[in-house]
Amino acid sequence: MKKRIFTALAAALTLSGMVGHAVAAGIDDPRRDDYYKTFTGKTVAFVPVAMGIDLTEGWASVLKQQADALGMKFEVRDPHFSADAGAQVITSLISEKPDVLIVHNPDVNSYAKLLKRAEEAGIHVIQVNMRSNYNSDVYVGADWIAIGEAETQAVVDKCGAGTSGKVAILEGVPTSGSDSGMRKGAEHILNKHPEIKLVSDQGADWDAAKAHTIVSTVIQQNPDLCGVVGFWDVMDLGAAAAIKDSGKQIVLVTSGGGEQMACDNVEKGVFQEEIEYNVMQQGRDLADMVAMVLEDGQPAGKQKVVIYSPQTRLTKDTLHQGACWSAKSLPK
């Protein structure tokens, strides 16, 4: 009997406890209002090298979703491959004073002074994938030197003993921020491997047709060529076509933003390997950094944050569903 009363008491207590708990479950987050207030009405401007490339479309898509969700204004100003037009856009943005300016530099010099002026005017500057000589608040993007190292190492691994050891490097524009970095990375590896012979190092202007011409000439000249280190997957399709025409087994390793085209071609064996910097993840990093500089409240130019994008090796063995993203399926 005593036990029964005790059980009933316990049950009653538990119930009342539960009720009490249910009332207290809706705890307010004191930081939530401030969080949204920070972003409402803010403006984020994006100056890409050009829209219409898988990279820039991918980043812009993620940034636009963030801006829509947080009540910010997201503006894209497309200078369409012209550094002059880009400089004008940035100049006019400095007077329009957006809160955050995201810049994709065409080379290391063109915008350097302007970015400094923008930060002096109180605009947070985030640079993406192609850095300039001026270090602004944030750089988000590939670690080009590491990518150059990874690509060259992958080729060197396949072109060791038992092969000719002859390797070619196919650059886009050697003076660009990405290529000068990858070239440095390639040097690091080549210096460690004196048995590897660099037979050609040419620039193809990011153009697949030019890449085709260069690589076919190099193969004619070195019929025992073992491998090609390509600096951008879109251009390297031309190198791949030249290798296919020659009917030879030549290793081709490339790098790029991991668009579906890359996975398709790794699967088909057109590229033996792609070192991928995932554009969707870079977009997420950009969005996080936009939030960071706005929430942090420090004046522009005080921080020096670098976020290198994780790089993934795409090979036939590592390919999996969802390893790549599709430019076609981006939300409009």
Partner 1 sequence: MFERISRASISQEKIVLLIAVLLFCVFSVSLKGFVSSGNLLTLLRSVSTLGILGIGMAFLVLGRGIDLAIVAIYSASAGWTLHLANGGVSIWLAMVLGYLLALTAGVLSGVLVAYVEIPALFATLGMAAFVFGFVRYALVPLYVVYMPASGASIAWIGGGFVFGVPVPILFFALIAVLGFLFLRFTKPGRFIYAIGDNFAAARISGAPVRPIIILQYAISATIAYLAGIITATAVSAMDTDVANSSMIYDIILVVVLGGIGLSGGRGGIRNVIVGTLLIGILLNGMTIMDIEYTLQNVIRSLILLIAIVIDSIINPRDEQIAQQGDI
Torsion of CA 146, 151, 152, 158, to 10 degrees: 140
Query: How far apart are CB 217 and partner 1 at their closest, in Å?
Result: 4
Closest CA to 208 of 228, 236, 233: 236
Q: How many residues appear in the chain?
A: 332
Query: How far apart are CB 237 and partner 1 at their closest, in Å?
Result: 5
Query: How far apart are CB 125 and partner 1 at their closest, in Å?
Result: 26
Backbone angles phi, psi at 312, to 5 degrees: -120, 140
Return the number of the residue (11 or 209) whose C-beta is nearest partner 1: 209
Interface with partner 1 by CB under 8 A: which residues? 50, 52-54, 57, 80-81, 171, 173-175, 199-203, 205, 207-209, 211-214, 216-218, 220-221, 234, 237-238, 240-241, 244-245, 261, 327
Query: How far apart are CB 323 and partner 1 at their closest, in Å?
Result: 17
Return the number of the residue (200 or 272) whose C-beta is nearest partner 1: 200
Return the number of the residue (9 or 209) whose C-beta is nearest partner 1: 209
Return the number of the residue (205 or 288) whose C-beta is nearest partner 1: 205
Instruction: Tell me the residue type at 146.
Output: A
DSSP strand pairing (311-314 vs 273-277): antiparallel
Return the number of the residue (41 or 52) whose C-beta is nearest partner 1: 52
Return the number of the residue (43 or 216) whose C-beta is nearest partner 1: 216
Strand partners, 314: 274
Return the number of the residue (88 or 202) whose C-beta is nearest partner 1: 202
Closest CA to 129 of 289, 262, 266: 289
Per the CB < 8 A criterion, the answer to whether 151 and 254 are in contact is yes
